């Protein structure tokens, strides 16, 4: 019979739009949920005063006091975790990155300050040598001009131990050296840090999306450093953007070596990899919405081409929908505030 508008209805066995008809119904059948509890806030810290980062509008290199205040602000909004990245003075950078495991260094002091001020905050530290290396690589470049895997792992172990000693809840090796998760797990356990977790960068791609981050930390490779041959990029250890199956090989190794959380970086261009990893493991999966993704959204919003709030929440939901349990994002406090409204 005709409907209320006098039209004869189509003979349809199913009408999916019924489940979209009202906000209440849409909420009842929503498959993916996003909350502040899923977010990790990356924070930059340096020696000196708080200063804006030109390469990343809206982000700041924090002093230790500023870092604590910003973490308190984010935590009050419901963000449960931060991950720390240091901008190290050039005078402290060496080919071996020895400052990375200085127990009185910037990151151990930052961890201690955060844990004193916010005992309930989950503090994650980045484990890699590039902020400390005069060569700008995540590992140690040997005399042959090659990033030496095993020598780098030994240095990364010392770095992770210094972070654990300072009170880090989770150490996060982002270097992509072979075997580093197992070596760090063994060293942490031997030193009594059995409760310190490892969030491994399982699939970190050699992406063009890292430029603003490297500008924030002054951590790009320096091919002409000291007249030595230094690799111009990180393609010999970060993954080829063309590969997805390789991520599952890396995943298998990280699981065997004792990772507690596995991570895919970047997030947006690699949602297929996030989903593959999610389907292949029962471990928590993280994804990092990196600096390039952040700047693209900020720039387009500043130019009036899109709505920043809508775009941020949509991209974060997409990362969650792909299978990420937690999302590292520079938008964490803004997103938490928006989600609370």
- CATH at 328: 3.20.20.70
- For residue 229, name the pLDDT band (cuts at 50, 70, 90): confident
- Active-site option among 87, 204, 234, 298: 204
Q: How far apart are CA 337 and CA 341, in angstroms?
A: 7
Cβ distance 229 to 197 under 8 Å? Answer: no
Helix (H) or strand (E) holding 202: strand 197-204
Average pLDDT over residues 60-88: 98
Q: How far apart are CA 152 and CA 173, in angstroms?
A: 12
Q: How far apart are CA 175 and CA 136, in angstroms?
A: 12
Any domain includes 13: no
Give yes or no: 265 in active site: yes
Any domain includes 132: yes
Q: How far apart are CA 319 and CA 288, in angstroms?
A: 9
- Active-site option among 87, 93, 234, 265: 265
Any domain includes 284: yes
The residues that bridge with 100 in the sheet, in sequence order, are none
The residues that bridge with 40 in the sheet, in sequence order, are 81, 328
Q: How far apart are CA 158 and CA 125, in angstroms?
A: 13
User: What integer pLDDT is reported at residue 188 of this predicted model?
Assistant: 98
pLDDT per position as a tens digit, 201-215: 999 999 999 999 988
Q: What interhelical angle do 245-257 and 271-280 show, nearest 10?
A: 50
Any domain includes 10: no
Q: How far apart are CA 189 and CA 196, in angstroms?
A: 9
Name the DSSP letter for residue 248. H
Q: How far apart are CA 290 and CA 272, in angstroms?
A: 16
Any domain includes 227: yes
Q: Strand 326-329 relative to strand 81-87: parallel, antiparallel, unpaired? A: unpaired
Give yes or no: 204 in active site: yes
Contacts 24+ apart (CB under 8 A), 177-180: 177/138, 177/139, 177/149, 177/152, 177/153, 177/237, 178/149, 178/153, 178/253, 179/149, 179/150, 179/153, 179/257, 180/127, 180/152, 180/153, 180/156
Any domain includes 325: yes
Average pLDDT over residues 69-88: 98
302: domain range? 34-340
User: What integer pLDDT is reported at residue 169 of this predicted model?
Assistant: 98
Any domain includes 141: yes
- For residue 224, name the pLDDT band (cuts at 50, 70, 90): low
Any domain includes 120: yes
Number of domains in the chain: 1
Q: How far apart are CA 234 and CA 138, in angstroms?
A: 8
User: What integer pLDDT is reported at residue 217 of this predicted model?
Assistant: 81
């Amino acid at each position: 019979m005709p409907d209320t508008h006098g039209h004869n209805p189509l003979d349809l066995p199913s009408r999916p739009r019924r489940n979209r008809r009202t906000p209440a119904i849409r909420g009842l059948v929503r498959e993916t949920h996003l909350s502040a509890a899923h977010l990790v806030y990356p924070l930059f810290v340096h020696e000196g005063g708080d200063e804006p980062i030109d390469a990343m509008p809206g982000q700041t290199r924090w002093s230790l006091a500023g870092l604590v205040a910003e973490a308190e602000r984010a935590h009050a909004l419901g963000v449960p975790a931060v991950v720390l990245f240091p901008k190290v003075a050039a005078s402290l950078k060496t080919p071996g990155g020895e400052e990375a495991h200085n127990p009185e260094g910037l990151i151990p002091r930052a961890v201690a300050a955060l844990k004193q001020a916010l005992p309930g905050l989950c503090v994650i530290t980045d484990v890699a040598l590039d902020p400390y290396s005069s060569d700008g690589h995540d590992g140690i470049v040997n005399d042959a001009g090659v990033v030496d895997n095993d020598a780098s792992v030994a240095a990364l172990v010392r770095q992770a131990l210094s972070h654990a000693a300072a009170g880090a809840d989770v150490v996060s090796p982002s270097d992509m050296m072979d075997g580093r998760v197992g070596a760090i797990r063994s060293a942490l356990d031997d030193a009594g840090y059995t409760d310190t977790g490892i969030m491994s960068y399982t699939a970190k791609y050699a992406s063009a999306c890292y430029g603003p981050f490297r500008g924030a930390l002054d951590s790009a490779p320096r091919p002409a450093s000291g007249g030595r041959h230094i690799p111009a990029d990180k393609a010999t250890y970060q993954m080829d953007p063309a590969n997805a199956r390789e991520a599952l090989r890396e995943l298998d190794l990280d699981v065997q070596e004792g990772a507690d959380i596995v991570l895919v970086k970047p997030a947006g261009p690699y949602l297929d990899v996030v989903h593959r990893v999610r389907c292949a493991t029962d471990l928590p999966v993280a994804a990092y919405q990196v600096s390039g993704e952040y700047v693209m959204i900020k720039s387009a919003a500043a130019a009036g081409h899109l709505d920043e709030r809508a775009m941020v929440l949509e991209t974060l939901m997409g990362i969650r929908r792909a299978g990420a349990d937690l999302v590292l994002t520079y938008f964490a406090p803004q997103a938490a505030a928006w989600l609370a409204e």
